[in-house]
A and B are shown apart, each in its own frame.
Chain A
Amino acid sequence: MNIFQIIRTDIPRSLFLLLIILASAYGFIAQTRTLTNLHAKRQNIPYTFYGDLFTGLAETLRNERYLGYFTDKNIETPLYGAQFTQAQLGLAPLILDLGSTSRRFTLFDCLDTKACLEKIQDIGARPLKITKQGLILTIKQ
């Protein structure tokens, strides 16, 4: 049975197929527009992945299983939650111990660098590496 026979003999199916064709056409037009806009935006704001900031630490932390992760950011908010999650991915198979400063190595990821340095002094650690982005890797003395 070809498509013309279906249209003549099965009107419900023809209506259904027509609906799908219309929905698909609308969907592709909207999709093309959205993708074009997204690509245009991406030209202005390049893709960044927070986890990439941590890859340089892998060699120093090669023999560790856990890494303390101290931050003054509220990781319940989507932005900082995403940053923490991406940091964990970038450092895996190392496990980030969020909020802990009792591990041998601790990473400080702070908005307020001064408060962070005070905290480092409080726990008796010393900075081992400081990245351009302000991340501080410390080791317990």
Chain B
Amino acid sequence: MIHALPFLTSILTGIICLRILFLRKSIAPALLLILGSSLGISLSGLLVLSSLLLFGQMTPAYLWLTHALLLTGGIITLLLCCPPGTRLPLRDVKRSDYAGLILTGLLTIPIISHALLYPQGGWDAWSCWNLKARFIFLGAQNWTAMFDPLLWRSNIAYPFLLPAINAWNWSIGSTPVWISPLTLSCLISFLTAGTLLFFTKKLTGRLHSFLSPVWLFSIFFIVQLASSQYSDLLLGLYLLTAIGSFLCFRQSQRNAWLFVTAISLGLMSFTKSEGMVLALISAATLTVWLGVFWRNLLPRRGLIFFIAILGICLTPGLVYQLFLTPESLTFINGLSSAEKPTSLPRLQAILVFTGMELISPKWNGFWLITLTGSLLAGRRTLRKDLLFIPVILCLYLVAVVGVYWINTFFEIVWWLSTTLNRILYALIPVVILWLFLIFEQTPDQK
């Protein structure tokens, strides 16, 4: 039970920080719990990164102290700035919130059941994410050895938010216990289900919002990935949070939602290299939407402020990717390489494989239902207020295909068979949110 303490500390810190962000009037309690927890776990990861930068190693005393300071500061701020009774919106909890949380918990049971079969997670958990976590936790000042070229099989160039969170969760003891990454994996999946449900419910106001996470976790392949301890889970969660928060801003015009969007994109950029690409594409698209299509929702000064916040949130990830990351030893530029040039058949292989992947039975018909849903929605599929979601997803997929085509280091069919499904997984929660929203009336019609 002692290993639950870092988790609870992160969750509590995240909830209080988010409550302060929405200081004047709190958001719905269920959303506060779910989004606060999502932000809290990564806030702890960021504190581990700050410890590595400040002290050259992970320092548990510093981490516990900063968490204590954040918690104390947060509680004092709430006590000073919020009238009694509004600090934590416990009175506003509705029956549907309890029902949603119980449903989300129930959906996590198969994930826990599967995770217990493979307590060390999937291949990349051993070879990359948990390995980096061990270097951070056990390596002391030698943690940078995780960038050693001898470890080229372990994606040494990837950012390491997930390993940092795992290292924090181990900080209560002296050994890296397997239960913490397993719990984190299940927690992220729980939070993804909760975020999807409560965003869909907030944005549609419909009872059938409850179907959204049910559909997600009815797919056994997703249950397998959800218990894999991969960073793709975090990427999927923060993409969903960023897009959902942006839509909440559209609905309520509360600027704090834009903060949550920017923070989520910043966190996403530190999950994986793909997360950085997706964060940049999302940031650019959302800025265009705010500046051009939703001009009336945000004054010019507000837009500049949003861009500045985005810049601040994305800068650490960009600095890491551009200047600090070790050179990737698994990259050959096929456009300039004479030994391993890229080719048209490689592109054809990528496109054919992607098509086959989308109709693979392992997805339980998800992509075919998505196609059917968008056809059934007809012109609503292209409604302007939601069009930014398919735009972001399409641009990202073009970028992914581009990387598969240009980087000729790996044999393409093997590479696609081991990585494409995870890339698609991270997009699914947002795709479900979009599908549930396109059938609704546009904000103008309301």
Contact = CB atoms under 8 A, between A and B. Distances in A.
Q: Do A and B bind each other?
A: yes
A95 B131 CA distance: 11
Contact of B207 (A3, A26, A47, A51): A3
A21 B142 CA distance: 52
A96 interface: yes
B382 interface: no
B143 A93 contact: yes
A34 interface: yes
B208 A17 contact: yes
A78 B32 CA distance: 44
A23 B119 CA distance: 29
B373 A35 contact: no
Interface in B198-242: 207-208, 211, 214-215, 218-220, 223
A16 B373 contact: yes
B220 A30 contact: yes
A31 B373 contact: no
A88 B131 contact: yes
Contacts of A12: 376-378, 439
B382 to A, nearest CB: 15
B118 interface: yes
Residue of A6, A24, A92 with most chain B CB atoms under a 10 A cut-off: A92
Interface string B361-392: 00011100100110011100000000000000
B151 interface: yes
Contacts of A26: 218, 364
Interface in B387-428: none
Contacts of A34: 220
B126 A20 contact: no
B372 A19 contact: yes
A89 B41 CA distance: 23
Contact of B364 (A23, A66, A92): A23
Given A51-B126, A92-B131, A92-B135, A31 B223 contact: yes
A129 interface: no
Contact of A23 (B114, B131, B365): B365
A101 B145 CA distance: 20
A10 B439 contact: yes
B98 interface: no
9 contacts: A12-B439, A20-B211, A27-B215, A35-B114, A49-B119, A51-B120, A65-B142, A88-B154, A89-B134
